[in-house]
Copies of this chain bind each other. A is one copy, B any other.
Amino acid sequence: MNESPPSLSPAQLKVLHKLFPGEDLLIHPADTLAYSYDNSQRQSLPAAVLFPREEEQIQALLEHCNEWQLPLACRGRGTGTTGASIPPAGGLALSLERMQRILEIDPANRLARVQPGVTNHELQQAAAREGFFWPPDPTSAAVCTVGGNLACNAAGPRAVKYGTCRENTLGLHAVSGSGALLRTGVRTTKGVVGYDLTRLIVGSEGTLAIITEATLKLTPLPEARRTLQATYKDVHSAAAAVSAIMAQPVIPSALEFMDAQALAMVRSYSDPGIAEGAGALLMIELEENAVAIDAAAARLATVAGNEGCIDVAIASSQEQVQALWRTRKSLSPALRNVAPRKINEDVVVPVSHIPRLIDGLTRLADKHHITIVNFGHAGNGNIHVNLLIDPDDPAQMKAADACLDEVFDLVLGLGGTLSGEHGIGLVKREFVSREIDNPTLGLMRQIKDVFDPRNLLNPGKTLP
């Protein structure tokens, strides 16, 4: 059972074994299989899986990889949806999950310092004990790692008020593709010395450098929360409410949207208690200090209650909160039931163009005979476009491909962007050049060359 995979020579394996002793190196396919995929539908078996515990191991590894021309992909817990953590063919999977120490929670300076393998949930728990939280809140927060969050510039519903990873990271330790130890950013909330490498590395999907430590900006926990649900006769009225909500000073901590198809999907599996005529729904969550919360909720209810609004409900008990969220939360199981391997895109358009996006998607759904269900983070214009298809049916896949092609043109025509939080990875790579022009892409490629001259870090990802 100690046979080496074909792509690693016995000499290479010996070096790797020395650097990653015992359980910190896996080479048997039965062991490495779990590191061959993520939450996309791609897969590629790595030649070996390595579990570094110290930055020095990563630096030493990079020296060998540069010498051997051996590529690698970093991974946290493999919850990404774009294949960004799929190992390169014949290359290594570098799993950061054992670099899992919370190095520091500093309440007086509102910061946390963590290793990349700490999960988002563990960080939130440690921060909460001191009265703080870290804003990025992807759906996978219970298991995904901070390192993965940073690599993807992950976000979630709360980004509408608190921003994404880029707005909540102060500095990084990282090892570049050439093996340089990088120390970026500061321990303070301001700093203008040198170029901003922190935000360049955040969101680069592991193609520039391997994050080995992050200094994160913490935010004080809110005192009070209120949940509102508003239904609208159509998506136009709902989008008008979104623009109006975002134009006044009480910014909600979540502003989630469901379109008519999403409501129909929920209705077909349960009774959400939503008016029959409703063509769109908004979930609005507010976080304020205790003394302000009720007035703020009343105000948002007023702003949300425009001409096309059917109903606004404010939850006043925990039971009512759960009842209001039930519609939104029953959507994912309903979708899974209909199309377990649906395609989920996360396009973004300027908020005021959400109606034109939804209208356009409706046209494309009709044209390509695909059911498209839309929901997502309306306050950021970040809409999850779900094509309910069976990828094993070649005809459906062909229709989906043709449809997606037009979806991306629609989004870019509305001044939008192809991805708000999932990223590019493998699956959206061929579309990037529609959004970013050649001179700018060329410069990005040169930056990649600077960090990783031998193209060892996640080759074939992110940039076309």
Chain A interface (Cβ within 8 Å of chain B)? 106-111, 131-132, 152-153, 155, 159-160, 163-164, 166-167, 176, 180-184, 186-197, 199-200, 202-204, 208, 220-223, 243, 246-251, 288-289, 291-292, 295-296, 299, 348-352, 377, 379-382, 415-424, 428, 432, 435-437, 439-444, 446-451, 462-463
Contact = CB atoms under 8 A, between A and B. Distances in A.
A362 B417 CA distance: 52
B131 A176 contact: no
Nearest to A348: B188
Given A295-B292, A380-B189, A194 B155 contact: no
Contact of A432 (B152, B193, B197, B448): B193
Please state the number of chain copies in the assembly. Answer: 2
Contacts of A110: 246-247, 351
A266 to B, nearest CB: 25
Nearest to A167: B167
A132 B243 CA distance: 13
Contacts of A350: 106, 108-109, 111, 187-188
A416 B132 CA distance: 22
A216 to B, nearest CB: 14
Contacts of A380: 188-190
A440 B194 contact: yes
A107 B186 contact: no
Contact of A247 (B131, B166, B419): B131
A244 to B, nearest CB: 9
Contacts of A249: 220-223, 288-289
